Amino acid sequence: MKILLTNDDGVQSDGLFALWAALSPIHEVAIIAPDRNWSISGHNKTMDRPLRVNEVKLRDGSTALATDGTPSDAVALAALGLLGYMPELVISGINSGNNLGGDITYSGTVAAAMEGLVAEIPSIAVSMATKPEWLVDVGASFIKRLVEQIGEHGLSKDILLNVNVPNVPEDQIKGVQITRLGWRIYKDELVVRTDPHGRKYYWIGGTVPPTHNREDGTDVTAIEDGYVSITPIHLDLTSMRPEVWDLLRNLKF
């Protein structure tokens, strides 16, 4: 398969290299990734300035392309012809940290996979927690097997798979669950400080969401229980809940 690898942690990230090492011996793999960290960047696309792309060397001497644009830009560059061909699959990751529940609306990792859908390329976003030690090879090994399945059976061009892998040794993973998005409880806080001129400035801070609503079948529960979570996602965000439609159907202009 012709595979595009990208991420939001930057072109020299351990997670990206783990995917490269697992997939490049078998598939035709290209890397276009940001030249810096774009975590929590969301689905950003650069339209107000030109983009730069430079060749860089990975730790094994292989060549990758680094852009000063966003993760979404990296995928758009490939889809619009930078590689000279259209990738058959986009894989974004391995992200440093899980992307569960509402995280997908913030995640640059997932945004890159969403840009793949915009270009009608099947896409995967893959993430893992990093503490106490980041076992990226476990995640890369699983994605290698997933790519084999996609090669045999195909994946719709309007679907991205949001994959989260437990950060534990492979023999401790209990299995794989197909999940829906759960609900993480964020504990953000506004940090107010004063600069040397007496003017206030603000940080939006907080910790990794410490809790979630525990519901069977969700990604957050699957990860907590030691399973790989795979959530199929598409771009149709329409709510079909009857009470919403009932509320709106009688409106008149």
pLDDT tens-place string over residues 177-216: 999 999 888 888 899 999 999 999 999 877 666 567 788 9
pLDDT at 211: 63
Domains, the chain: 2-182+213-249 (3.40.1210.10)
Reply yes or no on whether the pLDDT at 84 is more than 90. yes
Share of the chain above pLDDT 90, in %: 86
Helix/strand/coil percentages in the chain, nearest 5: 30, 30, 40
DSSP strand pairing (227-233 vs 160-165): antiparallel
Question: Closest by alpha carbon to 99, among 7, 21, 33?
Answer: 7
pLDDT 10s digits, 92-119 = 999 999 999 999 999 999 999 999 999 9
Per-residue confidence (pLDDT) for residue 68, from 0 to 100: 97
Average pLDDT over residues 8-15: 96
What pLDDT is attached to residue 90?
Answer: 98
Distance (Å, whole) CA 45 – CA 121: 17
Among 81-90, 166-175, 183-192, 204-213, the minimum mean pLDDT is found in: 204-213
Across residues 79-86, what is the average pLDDT?
A: 96
Q: What is the mean pLDDT of the chain?
A: 94
